[in-house]
Amino acid sequence: MLIDHLLNADALPSLERTIQFAARRQELIAHNIANLSTPNFQPRDVSTADFQKSLGHAIDQRRATFGSSRGPLNFTGNREIEVQGNSLTLTPTQPSTNVLFHDRNNRDLERTMQSMVENLATFRLATDMFKSRMDLLNTAIRERL
């Protein structure tokens, strides 16, 4: 019971969801890059703004319910993100802002690479923050024993 309370405290649940989202999105971006020159390929992506909005709503709901930053984070997802237990599934959509080429491929290399770098930065920041929180917990547990 104590471990459950520790793992649901502070920013750990939101960092966990952010890491899951960034990992799934990185797979999606890598798939887009791998098929960049495939004729008739239509790249797909998910909205980071919608994810942030859903995560913010879940955090606000947790604060309203428990009065603090402790308690389970009930992240329900949105139209592009489905939550099943402890995992996320992405349902990407086709962006309409890319350039349609003569081979009917809807691609934008610069925007795709920018998305990959931004997503990687999000993933690294979230994993670094998660690791520092877990290190603090491990230190506290070792000092107690």
Place of tokens 């790249």: 43
Phi, psi for 47 (deg, rounded to 5): -85, 120
- Dig out the tokens for 63 from the structure: 């604060």
For residue range 43-64, list pLDDT tens digits in order. Answer: 888 999 999 999 989 888 888 8
Q: What is the pTM of this model?
A: 0.82
Model confidence over 76-90: pLDDT tens digits?
A: 888 898 988 888 888
The token duo for 133 is: 């929180």
